Amino acid sequence: MTLESCLRRQDIWRSRKISKSSDAVATGFEALDHRLPGGGWPKGALTEILVENVVRSPLWLILPMLAALTTLRSWQAWINPPALPYPPGLDQSGIDLSKTLLIETKDHAEILWSAEQALRSRACSAVICWPSKLTQTEMRRLQLAAEGGDTLGICFRNETALRQHSMATLRMRCYELPNGMEIDFLKCRGGPLHQNISIHRLRGNTSVTINT
Amino acid sequence: MAQLYPQKNPGRIKARRHQLTLAKAKWPDALPAPTGTQTSHLWLALHLPFLPLEALGCQHKNWPTAVYTQGNREQQIVTANPTAQNSGIHTNMSLSAARALVPSLQAIQQSIELEKTYLRQLAIQAGHWTPDITLLEDGLLLNIAGSIRLFGGIPSLVDQIQIWIFKIAINPCIAVMPTAASAILCGRSGKTLIVNSKKDIRPAINKLPSTHLITDIKGRRLLTQIGARTIGDLLRLPRDGLARRFTPHLITQLDQLVGDAPDPQIIFKPALKFSEQFALDAAVSNMTLLQPLAYQLLEKLCHYLHKKHAQAEEMQWQLTNDRDEIYNIPVLLTKPNRELISLNELSRLAFENTQIKAPITAIMLQVNRFSVFTPSSKDLFENRTKSGDESNSIVEKLRNRLGKNAVHGLRVRADHRPEKAWDRCDPGQIGAALFGGARPLWLLETPKSIRVSNGQLFFGNQTLSIQQSRERICSGWWDGQTVRRDYYFAETASIKLWIFRDLDSGSWHLHGIF
C-alpha cells in the first residue's frame, strides 16, 4: 500500500488540511455550508447529529439536502423514525414522497441490518436512521457501508451518546434556539472544532450568526 | 356421409360435368412446392400402437394382455400385446371370443382419461425437442421445423426422438412429413419415413390404403364399390364427384394431406407449475444448514424457468418439522425473477426471518404464478447494472428480511383530517395533490393533550404562545370519525408546534412539531 492510496482512504483524517472535495451536498444553510469542509453534508459518509430529544429531531435541517438529492437515486430511506414524518409536511418542503421508503423495524438488530443494506445498496440517495444505541463497531460498520455505497447517511441520536467515541465523519450536537439551532461541531474531518454556529430557521430563508 | 348420385335431373348432371372438368384441371400431377411453408412446418407424427396398454401400465411382455372397451352389444378388444396377438387375438374381436381363444388372457378395460394423461406426460418430455406439440388420440404430433438446426439436422433429431420413444413404448412409429395430415396418416399406417419436400408427399402416400381416411362402414363399402383402394386412387378421382359420393370434408382432408389446405393444429401448452421437495434423512434444526438444499431446489427451478421461458412471480418455501407442522415462507418478489443468485439471496433473507420450533424434516419449493420472460437488452458498454434493478432489489431484500409490513412508501391522501391525510403504500406510489395550510414535519399519531393553567397553555414546563392565524378543520361526519378542530401554530422558547382546540370539548392538544 502506498502512502497516496493510504491517504485516499475515507477514514484517514488529516487535520488542518481542509479537503475541498466535491463529495458534499449543500445543506441549504449558507453558514453551515461555509463551515463544513467540502461545503456541505459529506457524501458517502455517516453524519451523526446529537439532539436533546430524538422525537424533535430537526428535520428542517436536512430537508433541503434531501430535496436536492431526490433525483440522484431511487429511494430515500427513513429507518425507525421516533414519530411519523408527516407526508403533507414533507411534501410542502419539497420532498418527493414517491421516493420515500419508510422502514419500521422490530428491534435494534433490524435497524442496523436495514441501515447497512440501504447504505450499501447504491439505490438510496440518503439514509436517515434513528438507532437507539450504537456501539463503536456498529457505528464503524455503518460508516463503511456509507462509503461502500457512496450514500449519505444521517444518524439522529440522543445527546446521551455524547461521551461515546464516534466513527462518523461528521458529528455535531444541536441545541434548540428560538426559531433556530445552535450547532457545536464535535468531530469534523478537515475542519475546526467547537466553533459553534447558530442557524436561524425562517420561513423560506435562513440568517446566520457565528460565535466563537 | 356418402350421397347418392341424383338420377332424375339430367340438366343438373350436365352442369356438374362442367364443374368436373374444372376440378380436374385443379389437380396437376406435380405441385410446385410453395416456398416458405417447407421451412416453417415439418411434422413428426409419433404413433403409439399400444397406447391403451402403455397408459394402463401393462408392461408384461410375456403374458397375453389385452385392453377392451364396452361396445354397444359386447366388449371388444381394442389392443392386444404382441404375445396375445401371436395367440390369435386381434383388434375388434369380442372379449368372449378372445377369452375362449386364450383362457389365460389378462383383460383390462380401456381408460381414455389415463391415455390422455399419459400422452400429456409424453408431450412434456417431448418438449425437450420442440414447443410445438399437438396431442392426438393415439400419439403426438411434433412440429420440428424450428429445431432441425439446433439438433444437428433432421436425421440426428429423429434419431434422438427415436431413442427416447423406443425406451418407453412398444413398436412406436415415427413419420416425418411436410403436412400434419400426411404425417399422422403415415404414422397410423405404421410407415416409418422421412419426407421433407412437398412434392414427395404424393409418392409417399399414394400406396396407403384409403380406409385410413374413411372409417365409417358405408363409406368403406362405397370405396370397394368404386375400386378406390389407395389414397392415390382417391387423389386421382374428380373432386366434386368425390365430394358428392362421400362428404365435402373428404376433399378438405385430401387437400390437407398434400398441403393445399390449411391444417391448423392445437398446440399443447402444459400448465406451468413447479413444486419440488426434499425429504431430509436427518432432521435439521439449524436454518443455515437448509441453505445448500434450498440452493439445489432453486437450481432446479431456474432450469425449469429457462426451459419454459418463464419467470417466477410468486414463490414460497414450505418447511415441515417433525411434528408435522408446516411453515409457509413466502419469498416476496417485487418483479418477476429467474436469476438463481438473487432468488437464493432472497430465500436466505426470508429464512433468516423465520423462527422454527422443531427440527425440519422436509423442504419444499413451490411457484404458483409465472410470467413470460421478456429479456431486456443491455448496453454493451454499460458496466453498472441499471438503477431500476438495484432499487427493486433493495426493497425486495428489506421486505424478505423484515417482513412485508416493515417497508412502505408514504403518500398524501385527499382528506382534510390531518391524521387521515396520509397513508402507507407500496414504495414508489404517487399520492394525491396537497391542499390546506402549512403542515408540520412530525405528526403525533395520537394527539397529546396540553395542560392549561390560568389561561396559559403549557408544553412541559414551557408556556406556549399562540399565533393568531387559525385553520378550522371540520370533516369526517360520513365515517363516524368526525373532527371539529381549530388548528393553531404555537411556539415555546425553542420549538414550533402545531396544536388544536377541540371545538366540542374545548380541550387543547398537541398534534405536530415543525
Ranges of each domain in chain A: 22-174
In this prediction, residue A12 carries a pLDDT of 66
Cα distance between residue B101 and residue B106, in whole Å: 12
Q: Is residue B16, in this structure, part of any structural domain at all?
A: no
Query: Which amino acid, residue B277?
Result: Q
Calculate ∠ Cα B4-B6-B10, nearest 5°.
Answer: 155
Q: CB–CB of A102 and B424 under 8 A?
A: yes
Query: Which amino acid, residue B94?
Result: S
In this prediction, residue A14 carries a pLDDT of 62
Answer whether B393 touches A (CB < 8 Å). yes
Q: Is residue B151, in this structure, part of any structural domain at all?
A: yes
Q: Is residue B188, in this structure, part of any structural domain at all?
A: yes
- Least confident range from A117-126, B18-27, B304-313, B489-498: namely B18-27
Which tens digit of pLDDT belongs to each residue from B236-284?
888 888 888 888 888 888 898 888 888 888 888 877 888 888 888 888 8
Same domain, B365 and B438: no
Same domain, B190 and B306: no
Nearest CB to B387 within list A60, A73, A86: A73
Same domain, B281 and B396: yes
Cα distance between residue B135 and residue B253, in whole Å: 19
Q: What is the mean pLDDT of residues B80-99?
A: 86
Q: Is residue B176, in this structure, part of any structural domain at all?
A: yes
Distance from CA of B313 to the nearest CA of A (A): 22
Rg of chain A over all Cα atoms, to the nearest angstrom: 16
Q: CB–CB of A74 and B441 under 8 A?
A: no
To the nearest 10 degrees (0 to 180), the angle between helices B287-308 and B340-352 is 150
Q: Which residues of A touch B459 (CB under 8 A)?
A: none
Q: How confident is the model at residue B217 (pLDDT cuts 50, 70, 90)?
A: confident
Q: Is residue B410, in this structure, part of any structural domain at all?
A: no
Domain boundary, last residue among B386, B402, B418:
B402
Same domain, B453 and B392: no
Domain boundary, last residue among B385, B402, B419:
B402
Domain A22-174 fold: Rossmann fold (3.40.50)
Which tens digit of pLDDT belongs to each residue from B30-70?
434 334 444 578 999 999 988 888 888 776 677 888 888 88
Of the candidates B348, B278, B340, which has an alpha carbon nearest to the alpha carbon of residue B306? B340
Query: Which amino acid, residue B397?
Result: K
Q: Which residues of chain A have pLDDT under 70?
A: 1, 10-22, 202-212
Residue B80 neighbours by CB under 8 Å, 6+ apart? B64, B65, B66, B67, B89, B90, B91, B98
Which tens digit of pLDDT belongs to each residue from B337-346?
888 888 888 8
The CATH number covering residue B492 comes to 2.30.120
Q: CB–CB of B410 and A59 under 8 A?
A: no
Cα distance between residue B117 and residue B179, in whole Å: 26
ipTM: 0.83
Same domain, B182 and B315: no
Joined together, the cell numbers standing for residue B451 give 395542560
The CATH number covering residue B371 comes to 3.30.1490.100
To the nearest 10 degrees (0 to 180), the angle between helices B387-402 and A108-120 is 170
Same domain, B381 and B450: no
Neighbours of A125 (CB within 10 A): 23
Of the candidates B180, B174, B140, which has an alpha carbon nearest to the alpha carbon of residue B265? B180
Q: Is residue B435, in this structure, part of any structural domain at all?
A: yes
Q: Which residues of B touch A178 (CB under 8 A)?
A: 491, 493-494
Of the candidates B327, B328, B307, B318, which has an alpha carbon nearest to the alpha carbon of residue B370? B307
Which tens digit of pLDDT belongs to each residue from A143-198?
888 888 888 999 999 888 888 888 888 888 888 887 788 888 888 877 777 777 88
Same domain, B51 and B97: yes
Joined together, the cell numbers standing for residue A110 give 433490524
Q: CB–CB of B398 and A98 under 8 A?
A: no
Which tens digit of pLDDT belongs to each residue from B370-395?
888 877 766 666 555 455 566 678 88
Whether B415 contacts B421, CB under 8 Å: yes
Joined together, the cell numbers standing for residue B345 give 439471496
Q: Is residue B418, in this structure, part of any structural domain at all?
A: no
In this prediction, residue B1 carries a pLDDT of 41
Answer whether B433 touches A (CB < 8 Å). no
Of the candidates B226, B194, B236, which has an alpha carbon nearest to the alpha carbon of residue B44? B194
Q: What is the mean pLDDT of residues B428-449?
A: 83
Same domain, B378 and B443: no
Same domain, B379 and B486: no
Q: Which residues of B touch A177 (CB under 8 A)?
A: 494
Same domain, B383 and B482: no
Same domain, B397 and B438: no
In this prediction, residue B406 carries a pLDDT of 87
Whether B78 contacts B69, CB under 8 Å: yes
Q: Is residue B223, in this structure, part of any structural domain at all?
A: no
Please give the residue range of the domain that contains residue B508: 431-513
Joined together, the cell numbers standing for residue B173 give 412409429
Instruction: Classify B46 as helix, strand or coil.
Output: strand
Mean confidence (pLDDT) of chain B: 81
Domain count, chain B: 3
